[in-house]
Amino acid sequence: MTEQLIPGAVTLDQLARLYRSGGAAALDASCRGTIDRAAGRVAAAAMAEAPVYGVNTGFGKLASLKIDRDDTAKLQRNLILSHCCGVGEPIPAHMARLVMILKLLSFGRGASGVRWALIETLEGMLAQGVTPIIPAQGSVGASGDLAPLAHMAAVLIGEGEAMYDGAVLPGAEALARAGLSPVTLGPKEGLALINGTQFSTAFALAGLFEAWRAVENALVISAMSTDAIMGSTAPLQPEIHALRGQKGQIEAAAAMRALLAGSEIRESHREGDSRVQDPYCIRCQPQVTGAAMDVLRQAATTLEIEANAATDNPLVLSGADMIVSGGNFHAEPVGFAADMIALAISEIGAISQRRVALMVDPTLSFDLPPFLTPDPGLNSGLMIAEVTTAALMSENKHLANPCVTDSTPTSANQEDHVSMAAHGAYRLGRMVANLNRILGVELLCAAQGIEFRAPLQSSGPLHKVLARLRRDVSTLTDDRYLATDIEAAARLVSGGGLIAASGLELAGPGA
């Protein structure tokens, strides 16, 4: 099924659906009139004598050089080919498709001056499964994501490489096999294709969607950890959180209350428990996870706007009947959003790692056996799994350092401040993978801890989560090869299986 996109009004839910499904998308026909008028304005400018950047001039530092009207098509083709300078591993196919969809959305605003035929070719590639091979590295996030978008654009003109029907093919061959024809670029069309923040925005959105899923998992797993160490639910009292008023904190506490309701383990130590307070990693879960939720929602607001934005240059201003050079290609908003997401990912992992450390430490875990093994000494249990979480947590702390502050001048100082949004967003995938493994180890520890509390049972929702885990990972008795257990738990986290088992209902990042 092809998702219909209304430019300027596409929601995070739609984008998340397209990201996860890898489905096709097309612009709603209602935007065609605006697009055609802008394309006509560019065509007229190309025939005129007045210089218009990117239409009949060179690019960047060469903008002062006038190009003959007979060379405008070659100008655009040369632009694409010369900017195909990306390096590194190709990005995943579903991410390349999301980049293409975001480019469609940008064109749909009717300010780029491209012809409808170009849009139809891009839509056709999505529909037929022609996916450009786009290297991951090469963009500094200003003047657009030039190198990666050039690799995307190259396939439209029959150059570069694309994946089609499971094979990597030359661009022209991939188009031909799919029944599509290369585009001969019109005035400004090459520039419109490579100017824009779509690569950075796509990876920031992916980071957002995966981080939000990690938040949901963190709420479920941390509730299990609370029961495993026989923690108190008193800090989840609604009035505590209402008195502060932070939305995410209130939601996190409510979710944990629901997840823990009816736990026999909790009821067993309401009286006679010598402990006065739990450590912060248990007691302050709503404050920390809730704050991360709030930060992710702030980033979500920026990214939803950016996904719907016209971010190439120059832009056709229909109201003023002008073609004007501006700076919407500068990805500073995306860079800030990516850094915010990185901070949230890092902190969710940091507090999760402390819960792992708590559960494996017999001096802190309230009578759980050392390293959660029934026969400590002969067996090491989850000792080194905890060390792995410490390594991943530390790596994420380093990766969370801001990228947006790391500007450097490029293009002979014409582009003298850049956002670094591209690798700021790209790193989020690695960070989320680390986080999912930290949460996976916490899940293994919490499950062991709850089982050691038998015959007492956890709550109904958490019992279902434990049962779901045990379908993939059996209880740890004697030591065994644990790497596969950790990966299986991490897959449950990333795939959403635990959330489904728990019945957790949490409003999304766009709420």
Catalytic residue numbers read 53
What is the three-class DSSP state of 276?
coil
- From the list 496, 497, 452, the residue with the least C-alpha distance to 227 is 452
* Bridging pattern class, strands 25-27 and 3-5: parallel
> Measured on CA atoms in the order 8, 10, 16, 20, is the torsion positive or negative?
negative
| 70 burial level (CB within 10 Å; 0-12, 13-18, 19+) | exposed
Cα separation of 174 and 181, whole Å? 10
CB 114 within 8 A of CB 164: no
Place of tokens 């304005």: 41
Cα separation of 482 and 456, whole Å? 27
* HEC letters along 62-90: HCCCECCHHHHHHHHHHHHHHCCCCEEEE
Structure tokens at 266: 């909790």
Cα of first residue to Cα of last residue in the chain, in angstroms, is 26
What is the three-class DSSP state of 95?
helix
What is the three-class DSSP state of 258?
helix
- From the list 453, 287, 248, the residue with the least C-alpha distance to 367 is 453
- Cis bond leading into 135, ω under 30°? no
**Cα angle 145-435-225, degrees, rounded to a multiple of 5:** 155
